Amino acid sequence: MVDTGFWVALFDHSDHHHISASRYLPNMQEPLITTLPVMTETCHLLQKRSGTALAIAFARSHQRGAFSLFSIQNWHWPRIVELMEKYSKYYRSHAPAWECISGLSSVR
């Protein structure tokens, strides 16, 4: 499950994690999976940093099959809420929501 930070680093050559992300990608053995909220956030950040070209390149990479989308279903929400409650004391931001959602990729 790939989060926004990795995508931004991968596509934005000026990001200080770009080299690490670029080197890590060829060694990944699992398929790349993300969610629509992550795609939306990634496009927003890439466009804000560098204009529309990088956001379009990211969207086109999905069209070419570089990664797939995990579809959050209604039946996932009880577990999402459970995990958000469990880990809420460790976070001060909205991060636990995404981390809980990303943890669902292995729960079917």
Q: What integer pLDDT is reported at residue 87 of this predicted model?
A: 80
SS3 string, the chain, reads CCCHHHHHHHHCCCCCCHHHHHHHHHHCCCCCEECHHHHHHHHHHHHHHHCHHHHHHHHHHHHCCCCEECCCCHHHHHHHHHHHHHHHHHCCCCHHHHHHHHHHHHCC
pLDDT in tens, 2-61: 999 999 999 999 999 999 999 999 999 999 999 988 999 999 999 999 989 999 999 999
CB 4 within 8 A of CB 40: no
pTM above 0.95, yes or no: no
Would the pLDDT of 84 be above 90?
Answer: no
**101 vs 7 pLDDT, higher one:** 7
> Would you state the structure tokens that stand for residue 40, as one six-digit string?
């939306």
